[in-house]
Amino acid sequence: MNKAFILANGVFPHREEALQALLQAQILICCDGAYNKLVNSQLFSHATTLPMVYVVGDGDSIGNIKPPFPTDFISEFTDQETNDLTKAVKYALSLGVERLVIFGATGLREDHTLGNISLLATYAEMVSSSGNPLSVRMYSDYGFFIPIKTSTTLPSFPRQQVSLFSMSEKLLVSTEGLKYPIHGRRLHQWWEATLNEALGDSFTITLDGEGTLLVYQTHKAKD
């Protein structure tokens, strides 16, 4: 399998699309605190097939609960110099995964949210066991983040809200297809390219230089 889902210990997803994705996941990896939330959600109480759930972390947040699905507790990823989300990503890579979808990485404590979002730049540098770059997206109930390192055209829809966050001042950023175009600009502060808007069914970001750009797109169009 080349695709896996990770559930982090932020706000548990509520969007129907996210819940359906978790129900259909063949590889589901939980950070240890998120495991309690998954069990308590009773998401799989009426499911006809159950995924194998892998739990990665130090185990300090897991209560004494009986899961309704097969579970494997992963103990070899114990690096205290990183967080549980990164441990889960590294475990996914050890399974040969090339595409990752992350839920539950935002909300609750703002420092955790900012840390998890910024880690997308690190994950964009990782490669799968096959040598292909890791493809990763991070979803909340409001939108999703994609890290990009090269010029890219992304699907959109009219009035979709789009924000760009540069993780390197070396990057020159240009856009086409957004309401407020950017022309060869270095983004020094995170606020500088926020609250933009897609004009049609796609937009293009051109990057010149080294570094990662985080692209945020909302699920719904602006009212």
Would you list the DSSP string of the chain?
--EEEEE-SSSPP--HHHHHHHHT-SEEEEEHHHHHHHHHHTTTTT-SS--EEEEES-STT--S---SS-EEEE-S---TTS-HHHHHHHHHHHTT--EEEEES-SSSSHHHHHHHHHHHHHHTT-B-TTSPBPEEEEE-SSEEEEEESS-EEEE--TTEEEEEEES-TT-EEEEESBSS---SB---SGGGEEEEEB-SSEEEEEEESSS-EEEEEEEEE--
Whether residue 149 has pLDDT greater than 80: yes
Q: What is the pLDDT of residue 129?
A: 85
pLDDT attached to residue 221 = 97
What is the reported pLDDT for 62?
60
Dist. CA 8–CA 1, nearest whole Å: 21
59 confidence band (pLDDT: 50, 70, 90): low
Structure tokens at 108: 């609750």
Q: Rounded mean pLDDT of 162-171?
A: 96
More confident residue, 72 or 11: 11
- Percent of the chain surpassing pLDDT 90: 74
Instruction: Give me the mean pLDDT over the 135-154 stretch.
Output: 98
| Domains within the chain, CATH numbers bracketed | 3-141 (3.40.50.10240), 145-221 (3.40.50.10240)
Classify burial at 186, counting beta carbons within 10 Å of its beta carbon; exposed 0-12, middle 13-18, buried 19 or more.
middle
Mean pLDDT for all residues in the chain: 91
Distance CA 223, CA 221 (A): 6
Q: Would the pTM count as exceeding 0.75?
A: yes
Q: Which residues contact 167 (CB under 8 A, 6 or more apart)?
A: 118, 121, 211, 212, 213, 214
pLDDT tens sequence across 35-45? 889 988 988 88
Q: How confident is the model at residue 140 (pLDDT cuts 50, 70, 90)?
A: very high
pLDDT of residue 65: 62
User: Could you give the CA distance from residue 49 to residue 163 in angstroms, rounded to a whole number?
Assistant: 38
* Banded model confidence at residue 47, pLDDT cuts 50, 70, 90: confident
Asked if residue 64 has pLDDT above 60, the reply is: yes
* 67, amino acid identity: P
Q: Which of 104, 100, 124 is nearest to 112 (CA)?
A: 104
Q: How far is CA 71 from the centre of its chain?
A: 22
Angle formed by the axes of helices 84-94 and 110-123, to 10°? Answer: 30
Which pLDDT tens digit goes with each residue over 79-129? 667 788 999 999 999 999 999 999 999 999 999 999 999 999 999 999 988
